[in-house]
Amino acid sequence: MGKTTYMLRDIPNEERPRERMMKYGAGVLSQAELLAILLRTGTHQESAIHMAQRMIGEIGGIRGFMDLSLEELTKMRGIGPAKAVQIKAGIELGQRLTVSRQPEAQIIRSPRDAADIVMEQLRYLQKEHFVCLFLNTKNHIIAQETLSIGSLNASIVHPREVFRAAIKCCSASIVCAHNHPSGDPTPSSEDILITNRLCEAGEIVGIDVLDHIVIGDGEFVSLKEQGLM
């Protein structure tokens, strides 16, 4: 006998994700149910809920969506450009909402201030992202940019790219940050080497590198505080 497929129409109204959210609130929904609402519809073979459950399983958990590009999403079974855009928009909105809750952290007075800015953006990523916060003379953040994605090494994070971006926005100083997908923020020898190269280049162009923050899962390490720069 073939495998029985249950579609969303087979689920009682009161048990469907959208109806449950309207009645009880978003907090009671599972990750798959929330994703199913973003997907809106499934396929002839599976419901939106089953599609969401399968996708989460394929990428190893909900955090996996943070690193998937639109192209990678559309390669997943049942996901076309429209659904891919809906997923990415939902993720981006969540990230922006997290940042918007911290307006007081837009002035960098300590490593904690810098970590608070980037923590929720970086802690769940499965690839290393190198980010720079560009500051004015009063340590207000005037811009933020992700300059590389991938394993952190000297060929990917080059001083010319960092300071080209800093000069473009008339930055007086910068704070660098990157994540460790392992969740352990302990700086590697490569982290220290890159930081020292950036500091040397900053002295030449007259833009101070104030700190390099390594982000783990809910914790961070400041190379400045550790005496590593």
- What are 123-160's pLDDT values in tens digits? 988 889 999 999 999 999 999 999 988 876 544 688 99
What mean pLDDT is reported for the chain? 87
> Can you tell me the mean pLDDT for 201-211?
97
Give the per-residue pLDDT at 92: 85
Residue 20 binned pLDDT confidence (cut-offs 50, 70, 90): confident
Q: Tell whether the model's pLDDT for residue 101 goes beyond 70.
A: no
Top-ranked range on mean pLDDT: pick from 25-29, 103-107, 206-210: 206-210
Give the per-residue pLDDT at 4: 46
Residue 9 binned pLDDT confidence (cut-offs 50, 70, 90): low
Q: Which residue has the higher pLDDT, 81 or 17?
A: 81
Q: Which two tokens stand for residue 213?
A: 């923050």
**pTM for this structure?**
0.64
Q: DSSP secondary-structure letter at 2?
A: P
C-alpha–C-alpha distance, residues 174 and 162, integer Å: 9
CATH of the structural domain 8-100, one choice from 2.60.120, 3.30.70, 1.10.150, 2.60.40: 1.10.150
Assigned CATH topology for domain 111-226: Cytidine Deaminase; domain 2 (3.40.140)
The residues spanned by each domain of the chain are 8-100, 111-226
- List, as own/partner pairs, every contact residues 136-142 make where C-beta atoms lie below 8 angstroms and the sequence separation is at least 24, other chains included: 136/170, 136/171, 136/172, 137/172, 138/107, 139/107, 139/108, 139/109, 139/173, 140/106, 140/107, 141/106, 141/107, 141/108, 141/117, 142/169, 142/170, 142/171
Give the per-residue pLDDT at 14: 45
